[in-house]
A and B are shown apart, each in its own frame.
Chain A
Amino acid sequence: MPEPVALKLTAKDFKSDQEVRWCPGCGDYAILAAVQSFMPELNIPRERIVFVSGIGCSSRFPYYMNTYGMHSIHGRAPAIATGLSATRPDLSVWVVTGDGDALSIGGNHLIHALRRNVNLKILLFNNRIYGLTKGQYSPTSELGKITKSTPAGSADSPFNPLSLALGAEATFVGRTIDSDRKHLQSVLRAAAEHNGSAFVEIYQNCNIFNDGAFDELKDPGTRDDYLIRLEHGQPITFGKDGQFCVVHPPGGFGLEVRETAMVSPEEIVVHDAGVAEPAYAFALSRLPGLDLRNTPIGVFRNVSRPSYDDLVQSQLEAAKAKVTGTPEDQLAGLLSSGDTWTII
């Protein structure tokens, strides 16, 4: 294949002429800036990039990207994007959604897009609150959360978005944080290179209705002790001084955090995003507690499976390869197939 021509695009090329209208201080600004400055790396012409969103604060995203874009209806972006992606394999299709959009009203479409492995890059901005409707609890809000619609505290247990995606056997699952541009872009990069569904949860701060939801993961004093930065091929250790690590507990399920000093080095799990069985990445997704301690970020899972788009296109091509004659001839043949009779 010839070397692709460098398009020499910049972040500015991806800014639309629309005034950005999120609340001042919203985490969405940081994500938008990170995405706009990452886009040139794709080296894909702007006209072949499409952002599709649902409804919610995050779903205003496409208006601000100078690409093709559709701001659709609540929860349905994965379904709409599936029809687009399956019929237009030449496009790079991105879905921008939120915790309410993707996990509440649109939960069904999300899991089915993931199990089909549609070639979509799905960015879920998780702020654990309904922002656009002014502060109701979301499907990722903590149990007991006091909001406008739950004055006595929420009685709903939250979804763990990554566990859900892995249950649907998503082929690419990652997590990052709005404020860490470098990390965010590293996960976007890996997602963009993945053929099939890439699901990326982005912890995003809603400074109006749920301010500080992820502060422990951002505060320089705590973040190193709270965050587990996953790197493919590297032993999973974390903490300011690498004092914590992740091990397979003998005889148990899943993974656990231990003090590095208390285990022998060979017991420490070496991160492998390519493990075929989703149980490994699922175990990683279960590590964080309610207090956000032991929160892994990075690429949890990155495995190869034929994408829905490829399977659909190969069926079409196989069928078309057998065709002779013009479409009109084919149609005439089809209309007169079966039992016919002629009246003279």
Chain B
Amino acid sequence: MTKQVRQLDRVVIRFAGDSGDGMQLTGDRFTSETAQLGNDISTLPNFPAEIRAPAGTLPGVSSFQVHFADYDILTPGDAPNVLVAMNPAALKANLVDLPRGADIIVNTDEFTKRNLAKVGYAANPLEDGSLDGYAVHPVGLTSMTVGALAEHDVSKKDAERAKNMFALGLLSWMYSRPYESTIRFLERKFAARPELVTANIAAFKAGWNFGETTEDFSVRYEVKPAKMPPGTYRNITGNAALALGIIAAGVRSKLPVFLGAYPITPASDILHELSKHKRFGITTMQAEDEIAAIGAALGAAYGGSLGITTTSGPGVALKGETISLAVALELPLVVVDVQRAGPSTGMPTKTEQADLNMALFGRHGEAPVAVIAPRSPSDCFHAAIEAARIALTHRTPVILLSDNYVANGSEPWLLPDVDSLPDLRVEFATQPNGEDGSTFLPYLRDPRTLARPWAIPGTPGLEHRIGGLEKADKTGDISYDPANHDFMVRTRAARIEAIEVPDLEVEDPDGDARVLVLGWGSTYGPIGAACRALRQRGQSVAQAHLRHLAPMPRNVGEVLRRYDRVVIPEMNLGQLANVIRARFLVDAIPYNQVRGLPFTAAELETMLEEVVKNA
């Protein structure tokens, strides 16, 4: 039969199943196929912290949402157009997000009495009419996969496990995705077990062919490539981009890189990635704890490496004392905090922006550091380079605030020209700098940056001692002098303020906005999408997004005062809003949510519309 092909401009698909069903992999493959086609993409993985939560239960549901379009998009989408539900739990957990009319593809084999009871379904939702408003496609994903693999030399268990490839094949057919990259991927993944390569490919093709032949799917969709700037692209997650940014910073600074890290969700992938790239002169050390991880990174920095430690909020809390030591020693150090929902263990696989206060203020004594935050997955690459630039040039710890949303989300990334990346080379001290020509003054400062010389062990004639005790200006000798301490505390603050950062840019295409939305970090996408939607409906709203939280761009106060109202949406209880209010005396309106999930563009749009109306 000939199938109708319908053009769409955008689609949101959510793959949902049990933690063990391979939904992250399925979503990832669909994303990769979609990227090949040239659509713009944004993804949102959502999974429990438990590796294998009890099978078939609500807490065990893992999902992956992908939004793709023929224009540039900013978020993974608020509501799915299509839900793939591998079991009753996946249906129940995700139905609430589905608008009426959405397609639901369910694996009917899993809708047994027992599985339904497990999640509290009294009756089978596929039969009781409760899904009447949706386009439900019942498919025996497991049985059809097992049937398709009957002739293959694989166990029943392995055959059943290939059902995610059947689902991927079906969805790939529905949305006309090119599948060559998935075939290549399967060949790589199962290289050691050729029978699984053929079985998984067969399952994929069975899903594809099922779509083509069944009458249940009468329409096939196409989403044309997006108009994007020319160049070579790849799809990238924030954690992968951050790791590449660190490698790039090593290459551009011509310094060895040392990463000290302790495994912690959601930052561990950066350690995994960097440990693969020793050929770039990168040493990775899985330390005995978070404190040793930063300690070793600081020790390496003292010896002339680009020292980095990666962690999440609980780890930053443990590293606080060493960050303060780095402030006192005035050595370069990059601390990456991939934020997750807290306090304490909180929700390790869910996102939040609640470590801003800790990054800005969470140390004993007056211990200012630079703080920056990437706005999107691919921006993590450039943010890592910027963090390294500030650390190396200004000899200071820099905290980079990523979060779970950008770390695990993905988007297409226009690959940069390596030669266009900033030159991060620094000069180590080689000569005495005292007026007598023979003395070395470890705390004599560069008049512009206020940075002290980086004199690494091994340099003859510059032997000196540094430590956590207060140091006399210039000589670095231990000093308890009141005036010296006052001077050094103020100088350490001035050093951070002396860091040059680009001005805050404002996007106000209509030019007559009276309301400014100010954000930082990963909220860029939802805020941007909400502003666009408002503008399309004729409302004016301005958007500005802070990348540098410390020091802030010099024009922030001036920008804020241009608008009647300033709204600050954050995934915390108003941490940036408090800073803005305290520092600029601007009556900013905080808009806060701490649900472990990113804002939806729709909720921000509703909120902003209200503010614009009353401005």
Contact = CB atoms under 8 A, between A and B. Distances in A.
A82 B464 contact: no
B516 interface: no
Interface string A125-143: 0000000000000000000
B15 interface: no
Contacts of A86: 258, 283, 285, 296, 300
Given A72-B325, A83-B296, A87-B283, A109 B278 contact: no
A339 B234 contact: yes
Interface residues of A, number: 59
Interface string A162-203: 000000000000000000000000000000000000000000
**Majority SS of interface residues in chain B?**
mixed
A79 interface: yes
A68 B464 contact: yes
Interface residues of B, number: 69
Nearest to A321: B279
B192 interface: no
Given A47-B460, A323-B279, A340-B232, A52 B299 contact: yes
Contacts of B418: 328, 331-332, 335
B210 interface: no
B256 interface: yes
Given A80-B295, A83-B296, A87-B256, A47 B459 contact: yes
B6 interface: no
A83 B325 CA distance: 15
Contacts of A298: none
B329 interface: yes
Given A334-B277, A339-B36, A87 B303 contact: yes
B511 interface: no
Contact of A84 (B231, B248, B302): B302
Nearest to A71: B467
Interface in B258-305: 258, 260, 277-281, 283, 285, 287-289, 291-292, 295-305
Contact of B35 (A88, A318, A330, A339): A339
Contacts of B339: none
A76 B295 contact: yes
Interface in B26-53: 32, 35-36, 38
Contacts of B464: 68-69
A16 B465 contact: yes
A46 B461 CA distance: 9
A338 B322 CA distance: 37
Contacts of B35: 339, 341
Contact of A331 (B247, B278, B283, B458): B247
Q: Determine which residue in A45, A112, A343 has the highest number of CB atoms from chain B within 10 A of its CB, and name it.
A: A343
Given A72-B468, A335-B415, A108 B296 contact: no
Contacts of B291: 76, 79, 109
A168 to B, nearest CB: 11
Q: Determine which residue in A62, A83, A86, A336 has the highest number of CB atoms from chain B within 10 A of its CB, and name it.
A: A83
Nearest to A344: B230
Contacts of A71: 465-469
Contact of A322 (B232, B260, B279, B305): B279
A83 B457 contact: no
Contacts of A338: 234
B382 to A, nearest CB: 12
B181 interface: yes
B281 to A, nearest CB: 7
Contact of B419 (A70, A81, A328, A341): A328
Given A52-B299, A79-B296, A83-B297, A340 B233 contact: yes
Nearest to B37: A341
14 contacts: A47-B457, A66-B463, A69-B464, A79-B288, A80-B296, A84-B303, A109-B295, A335-B244, A335-B248, A340-B415, A342-B231, A343-B228, A343-B229, A343-B233
Interface of B: 32, 35-36, 38, 181, 225, 228-235, 244, 247-248, 251, 254, 256, 258, 260, 277-281, 283, 285, 287-289, 291-292, 295-305, 307, 321-322, 325, 329, 415-416, 418-419, 457-469, 477-478
Interface of A: 16, 18, 45-48, 50, 52, 55, 62-63, 65-73, 76, 79-88, 90-91, 108-109, 112, 312, 315-316, 318-320, 322-323, 327-328, 330-332, 334-336, 338-344
